Amino acid sequence: MISIKPIHYGSPAYLETLELRNRVMRLPLGLNIHDEDFSFEQNCVLYAAFDGEQVIGMGSMSREGDTCKVEYLCVDTAIQSRGLGRQLLEALEGAAREQGAAHICLDARVTAQHFYERAGYHTVGEIFLLSYAPVEHILMEKDL
């Protein structure tokens, strides 16, 4: 049975999310997530999706003022397109509302733009590249 739970920075489940993100988001680009600094996630809301004890998805979110930002949303490639990403996104949006945020934003990979549009996000600005993930991204936001 799949469950979504809050996790803590540095916990065993958190470390599993790093491995998941590395496998899904960095290795296919010839990069290694362990070359990056994730200390900022100490101050993030963190969720993991579990299939039993195995981490199969994750989401992280930061806050600045009245806006929350989805920093990462990642689902194991073996189970993508089954609604888990949407559930994780909804968990982050719920946490943003609980914190009193008025808006939520994210840097979406262009390949995931339609996923976020279906969840009520709209694009802001032009396509850009991130230094740590050299694929096309676009800023998207949603009022809460």
Segment 13-53, tens digit of pLDDT = 999 999 999 999 999 999 999 999 999 999 999 999 999 99
- What are 78-117's pLDDT values in tens digits? 999 899 999 999 999 999 999 999 999 999 999 999 999 9
**Rounded Cα gap, residues 46 and 111, in angstroms:** 23
In this structure, are strands 54-64 and 45-51 parallel, antiparallel, or unpaired? antiparallel
**Rounded Cα gap, residues 4 and 2, in angstroms:** 7
- pLDDT for the residue numbered 61: 99
Q: What is the pTM of this model?
A: 0.95
Q: Which CATH superfamily is domain 2-102 in?
A: Gcn5-related N-acetyltransferase (GNAT) (3.40.630.30)
Mean pLDDT across 2-15: 98
Max CA distance (Å), the chain: 40
**Rounded Cα gap, residues 141 and 6, in angstroms:** 23
